[in-house]
Structure 1
Amino acid sequence: MTRSLQHPRTSRLPADAGSWLLPVARASIARHLGAPVAPPAAPRWAMAEGACFVTLRVRDNDSLRGCIGSLRAWRPLADDVTANAVAAATRDPRFDAVTRPELDRLNVEVSVLSSPDPLAFDDQADLRRRLRPGVDGLILTWHGHRGTFLPQVWEELPDPARFLDQLKRKAGLPSDWWADDAVLERYTVTAWKEP
């Protein structure tokens, strides 16, 4: 298990949080798929409210296989990671549900989010300048459209203009769209992934 993208805003988590988060995410999926496995008992820190995303990737080629999460804390982190792990495996609309034999060929990543903060900017060019590649997760909201990219997406889209254009598309908007009343929020994550 390796830890990456540790950020002070989510540092309320113990340094070894991944040693519980990753096994509980995997065990929750396996149990949902019918394996006779019980997730490990939740430590005290996991009973505090927390928001996370669970990402599944194919080991052979590192391709995405599912990603679901919560943008805001509203339930215990233990419940959030359990529910989002099962949802990433079974309810990501981009993919068919994960099968029990397939689970052994997937890597699990858990990203715990900080609270989102509104991002002030003058215009789209100013917004691009204010983005912190590799650090910021971004939420775009506008008139019923919403999309988010975790900070890990910067690895694939390192250019702020391209990052923002692809986020617009994810939110169901054209990449050349812009409106002055768009709401942008940023957050950071502490993430752990299986080797």
Structure 2
Amino acid sequence: MWLIEAHQQRLISVARASIAYGLKTGRALPVILSDYPPQLQAMAATFVTLERHHELRGCIGMLQAVRPLVQDVAENAFAAAFRDHRFAPLSETELDGLELHISILSAPEPMVFSSEQDLLAQLLPGIDGLILEDGSHRGTFLPSVWESLSSPRDFLNHLKQKAGLSAHYWSDSLKVSRYTTSVIHAIYR
């Protein structure tokens, strides 16, 4: 989903406001949809990623569009700051220099492949986000993960591990879907 600069800035403002609101109230910013243009009311799936000093500080999102874009950003910004179980809740002292990334996801498209080699050959480094599923095991990597795992094999092996599988796991029941993202970013000052 492509948005004009003014709409991108509104989403950044909503994410920041939701984090600030969360610091004061312990809840995500309530969103009144009619206050936003139709483009920001469209159903969309997002991830909000927070980084401090180029290190992950929180990342929460949705793989399927289940609510309007602006509401999804408000909820995910709050959740990334205060509900990512890997980190303590964000404190006000961490806001200065906090990097905020909003990834707006395209609809996932199932991939068709005959083997692990075939799957690896189809991957588009730097472009594809992947969802890997097998039984109760599920994991995703945003396209930005290619920055640290640049080879298709490393990307896939680490995604398997994230899903709770062995890096060398392979099964005919394995399902993989791909998606792309539009990313908006800002830094707190």
Deviation at 1:108, TM superposition (A): 0.6
Q: Cα deviations across residues 126-182 of structure 1 (Å, max 9, x unaligned)?
A: 100000001000000111111100001101111000000000111111111111111
- TM-score, structure 1 normalization: 0.88
Deviation at 1:14, TM superposition (A): 2.8
* 2:37 paired residue number: 43
Q: CA RMSD in A?
A: 1.7
Q: Which runs of 5+ in 1 are unaligned?
A: 1-9
AA aligned to 1:120 is V
* 2:23 paired residue number: 33
* 1:170 paired residue number: 162
Instruction: Give yes or no for the alignment of 1:125 onto 2:135.
Output: no
Q: Give percent identity, aligned residues only.
A: 47
Deviation at 1:16, TM superposition (A): 4.0
* 2:173 paired residue number: 181
Residue 51 of structure 2 aligns to a residue in which SS? strand
Q: Cα deviations across residues 1-39 of structure 1 (Å, max 9, x unaligned)?
A: xxxxxxxxx23x33543211112111101111118xx78
Instruction: Give yes or no for the alignment of 1:19 onto 2:13.
Output: no
AA aligned to 2:90 is V
**Cα distance in 1 between the residues matched to 2:129 and 2:145:** 8
**Cα distance in 2 between the residues matched to 1:17 and 1:155:** 27
Q: Cα deviations across residues 77-110 of structure 1 (Å, max 9, x unaligned)?
A: 1110000001101111211111122123411110
Instruction: Give yes or no for the alignment of 1:157 onto 2:149.
Output: yes
| Contact 1:136 1:187 survives alignment (8 Å) | yes
Q: Cα deviations across residues 37-75 of structure 1 (Å, max 9, x unaligned)?
A: x789433211110110000000xx200000000101111
**Cα distance in 1 between the residues matched to 2:144 and 2:6:** 20
**Cα distance in 1 between the residues matched to 2:37 and 2:91:** 29
AA aligned to 2:19 is I
**Cα distance in 1 between the residues matched to 2:7 and 2:102:** 10
Q: How does 1:135-154 map to 2 (within 5 A)?
A: 135-154=127-146
Residue 67 of structure 2 aligns to a residue in which SS? coil
Q: How many aligned residue pairs are there?
A: 181
* 2:62 paired residue number: 70
